[in-house]
């Protein structure tokens, strides 16, 4: 006897969370802390982009980790720095709330099993090796920022070997389940349910939970492959996603989950949706999609289907890191005209943004012989294996070298006269004791004078060996006090909340390492707490539609 797969099952709970990455798991835990029932859905295995990330949490103001490391920080210093980065992405009140709760956020994560370490990284880098876990993860050291507030290490790398995002997600997920969160993996939300008054009262989804055990195991494996290594090799991801689709068409069954208090959408951004990137931010099509296949905008679309509005959809973060090795901070980044692009001590997302928006995505790193020698010496001591491979590939296959500046410029396709003028201005400022033309702090500035000269091509383009990771920062607009999704009139859509990259937040203007995860924790907890607080008398008895 075969079972009718078209028959829709029903469940009910207080709060439904769609997407079980950093924002989703924090929302689920926060809701359970209020004593309500929670069901969390994830189309894959859970973890989202967080589980494959570097596991950096941007926090400060005097966290316990900073105190243990002997780092002096306070509310005013952190707020001053983030005001420069965050801009008008959120209100002053929201940013102040985020900063004020930053230290407690680290305590909260620690309470639920997330491990931190206070070992300070002694050099400037995009991501420290396995010896160091607290570092300058943004542009704190850059001239435009240190003139306003002292540079302070606020990048809290979760303790774990390699990229340690999984060390952040795994204990949080285990804690959520231990607290009573019902987690339904391999369950894809397809529609938000509303009552006749427009209140969101549940979710319709398709789930693989009733498939045979062998099929579920195979689905789990394929979902993991799609996430990683699929992120680095798009053809593999596309092939795996087709196989997942075939399994879904054969085995997935509909389920309807009623939410007595609220639904929280935490389903990631839209970097995996090429059509949307083409529509909203076409200049960012050539980067590495830094996310899972679930970062396809489906969560944003769900919210839009019930009246949500979006903002900052053209804002994409493109990462063009030039460190490690740290010696490269003292090199200069130039465009096709040979002109400087940016203060090289800026965070990699600022470098990438400047290249994409103002220089057609083109950029080269100019280093002289002495600097290249130092960079090679730092390759072993400062890098993790994947960084070492990327830098070695850059040096060996994506660089040109020549005895003179005009020759190396011509070999790279750069205007020789422009490069000569730029180097002369750079060196003249050093000789005269005047500030660097781009504002780079003096401690990172060195003369470019000893041939042979090397130009390393760091242009934004498709590359397996040296890709430019990108993630979307725009999304649906929410009430900054509660995390409730709002409509075009600014009114909250009853019963609907959002957090993480599905929504705009702290990092939606300018990204630095750790700010997205920190925003996921901050906004996830906010949404979970307020969704759980929706009283039963606020829910309606109107029939669902």
3-state secondary structure of 402: strand
Per DSSP, the three-state class of 281 is coil
Per-residue pLDDT at 221:
97
Tell me the torsion sign for CA atoms 418, 421, 427, 428. Answer: negative
Which residues does 26 contact at the CB level (< 8 Å), separation at least 6? 172, 499, 520, 521, 524, 525, 528
**How far is residue 251's CA from residue 134's CA, in Å, rounded to a whole number?**
46
**Residue 455 · residue 338 · CB < 8 Å:** no
What residues pair up with 18 in beta bridges, in sequence order?
41, 265
Domains identified in the chain and CATH numbers: 9-53+163-208+253-317+471-533 (3.50.50.60), 56-157 (no CATH), 320-457 (3.90.700.10)
Region label for 23, one of left (φ > 0), alpha (ψ between -120 and 50) or beta (otherwise): alpha
For the chain, residues with pLDDT lower than 50 are: 1-3, 538-542, 545
| Pick from 287, 209, 293: nearest CA to 251 | 209
Residues in the chain: 545
pLDDT at 541: 46
- Structure confidence at residue 7 (pLDDT): 61
SS3 for 455-488 is EEECCCCCCCCCCCEEEECCEECECCCCCEEECC
This prediction has a pTM of 0.94
Q: How far apart are CA 183 and CA 38, in angstroms?
A: 9
pLDDT of residue 536: 54
Place of tokens 């990137």: 277
As a whole number of angstroms, the distance between CA 129 and CA 151 comes to 21
**DSSP annotation of 120:** B
Q: Model confidence over 252-276: pLDDT tens digits?
A: 999 999 999 999 999 999 999 999 9
CA pair distance 14, 64, nearest whole angstrom: 35
Characterize the bridge pairing of strands 182-184 and 38-41: parallel
Distances (CA, A) of 85 to 35, 89, 224: 36, 9, 34
Joined tokens for residue 398: 């994506």
Look up residue 242 and give its two tokens: 């087709």
Provide the pLDDT for residue 464. 79
Q: What's CA 160's distance to the chain center, in Å?
A: 18
Find the radius of gyration of the CA atoms of the chain: 24
Beta strands in 208-311 (DSSP E): 253-265, 288-289, 310-311
Which secondary-structure segment (H or E) carries 411? helix 405-412
Which tokens sit at 25?
Answer: 């798991």
Q: CB–CB of 49/268 below 8 Å? A: yes
Both tokens assigned to 235: 């053809």
Contacts of 83-88 with C-beta under 8 Å, sequence gap 24+, read 84/144, 84/145, 84/148, 85/138, 85/139, 85/509, 85/510, 85/512, 85/515, 86/506, 86/507, 86/509, 86/510, 87/509, 87/510, 88/509
Q: Which helix (H) or strand (E) holds 156?
A: strand 155-157
| Alpha-helical segments (H) within 112-164 | 143-146
Read out DSSP for 18-47? E--SHHHHHHHHHHHHTT--EEEE-SSSS-
Q: What is the pLDDT of residue 3?
A: 44
**Distance in angstroms (rounded) separating the CA atoms of residues 436 and 433:** 9
């Amino acid at each position: 006897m075969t079972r009718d797969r078209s028959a829709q099952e029903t469940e009910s709970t207080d709060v439904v969370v769609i997407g079980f990455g950093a924002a989703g798991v924090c929302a689920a835990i926060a809701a359970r802390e209020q004593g309500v029932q929670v069901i969390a859905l994830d189309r894959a295995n859970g973890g989202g982009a967080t589980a494959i990330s570097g596991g950096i949490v941007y926090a400060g103001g005097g966290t316990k980790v900073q105190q243990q490391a002997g780092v002096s920080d306070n509310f005013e210093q952190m707020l001053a720095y983030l005001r420069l980065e965050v801009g008008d992405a959120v209100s002053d009140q929201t940013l102040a709330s985020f900063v004020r709760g930053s230290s407690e956020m680290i305590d909260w994560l620690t309470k639920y099993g997330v491990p931190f370490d206070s070992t300070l990284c002694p050099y400037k880098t995009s991501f420290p090796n396995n010896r160091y876990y607290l570092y300058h993860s943004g542009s704190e050291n850059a001239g435009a920022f240190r003139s306003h507030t002292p540079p302070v290490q606020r990048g809290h790398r979760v303790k774990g070997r390699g990229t340690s995002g999984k060390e952040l997600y795994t204990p949080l997920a285990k804690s959520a389940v231990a607290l009573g969160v019902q987690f339904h993996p391999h369950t894809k939300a397809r529609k938000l349910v509303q009552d006749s008054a427009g209140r969101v009262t549940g979710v319709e989804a398709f789930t693989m939970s009733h498939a045979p055990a062998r099929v579920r195991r195979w689905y789990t494996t394929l979902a993991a492959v799609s996430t990683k290594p699929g992120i680095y090799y798009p053809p593999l991801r596309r092939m795996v996603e087709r196989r997942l689709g075939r399994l879904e068409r054969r085995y997935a069954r509909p389920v309807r989950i009623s939410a007595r208090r609220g639904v929280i959408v935490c389903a990631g951004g839209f970097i995996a949706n090429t059509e949307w990137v083409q529509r909203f931010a076409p200049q960012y099509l050539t980067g590495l999609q830094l996310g899972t296949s679930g970062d396809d905008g489906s969560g944003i679309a769900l919210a839009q289907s019930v009246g949500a509005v979006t903002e900052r959809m053209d804002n994409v973060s493109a990462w063009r890191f030039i460190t490690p090795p740290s010696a490269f901070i003292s090199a200069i980044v130039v465009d096709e005209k040979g002109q400087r692009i940016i203060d090289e001590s800026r965070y990699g997302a600022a470098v990438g943004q400047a290249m994409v928006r103002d220089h057609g995505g083109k950029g080269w790193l100019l280093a002289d012989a002495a600097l290249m020698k130092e960079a090679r010496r730092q390759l072993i001591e400062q890098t993790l294996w994947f960084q070492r491979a990327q830098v070695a590939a850059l040096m060996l296959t994506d660089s040109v070298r020549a005895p003179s500046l005009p020759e190396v410029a011509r070999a790279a396709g750069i205007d020789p006269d422009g490069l000569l003028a730029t180097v002369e201005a750079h060196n003249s400022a050093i000789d005269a004791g005047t500030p660097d033309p781009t504002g780079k702090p003096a401690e990172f500035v060195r003369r470019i004078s000893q041939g042979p000269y090397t130009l390393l091509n760091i242009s934004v383009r498709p590359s397996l060996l040296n890709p430019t990771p990108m993630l979307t920062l725009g999304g649906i607009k929410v009430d900054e006090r509660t995390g409730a999704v709002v409509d075009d009139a600014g009114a909250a859509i009853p019963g609907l909340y959002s957090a993480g990259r599905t929504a705009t937040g702290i990092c939606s203007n300018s990204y630095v390492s750790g700010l997205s995860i920190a925003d996921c924790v901050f906004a996830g907890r906010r949404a979970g707490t307020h969704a759980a607080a929706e009283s039963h008398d606020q829910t309606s008895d109107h029939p669902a539609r």
